[in-house]
Amino acid sequence: MANISNVKLDISQVPGQPKQKKVTVSYQIRFNSAEELAGSVFKESVTIRGNDVGPDQHLFRLKSLFVKAQPGVLNRSFSKNVHREKLDEDDDFGFFGVKISFQDEVYANVCLEPFNPQGDSSNSNEIVRFF
């Protein structure tokens, strides 16, 4: 199976846009020799998630695409500007007019799933006549 390594999340301020954050995820993919020889295709998805006491929250999908196995290390990096509220996974609330904010814990998840094409069939129009 392909190996994903060195996953790094970076969140920075978008200059001149105080409510916008630039979210960047970078990582490396290494396919095994069998996948390379077969030309295997994988569905690649990068999501941003919030770390919680219960189940972690899906905050948003950064990227979703297909990638074909190839020799060597494949270096990936994807960025997206988002409103800061998309990263606010621990909701803030007010108490007697005082805003209470909690620190947010976010991380990137990179997933590769083997793409298995499925067959399809379809019928033509029907012709009715004597042959």
Question: Any idea of the CA torsion for 112, 20, 11, 50, to the nearest 10 degrees?
Answer: -60
Whether 38 is covered by a domain: the verdict is yes
Q: How many domains does the chain have?
A: 1
Q: Per the domain annotation, does 131 fall within a domain? A: no
| DSSP secondary structure string for all residues of 100-118 | E-----EEEEEEEEE----
CATH number of the domain encompassing residue 94: 2.60.40
**One digit per residue, pLDDT tens: the chain, 131 residues?**
899 999 999 999 999 999 999 999 999 999 999 999 999 999 999 999 988 777 888 999 999 999 999 999 999 999 999 998 888 866 655 556 665 556 788 899 999 999 887 767 788 777 676 66
127 domain-assigned:
no
pLDDT at 126: 75
**What residues make up the domain containing 87?**
3-114
Task: For residue 86, give both structure tokens.
Answer: 């998309």
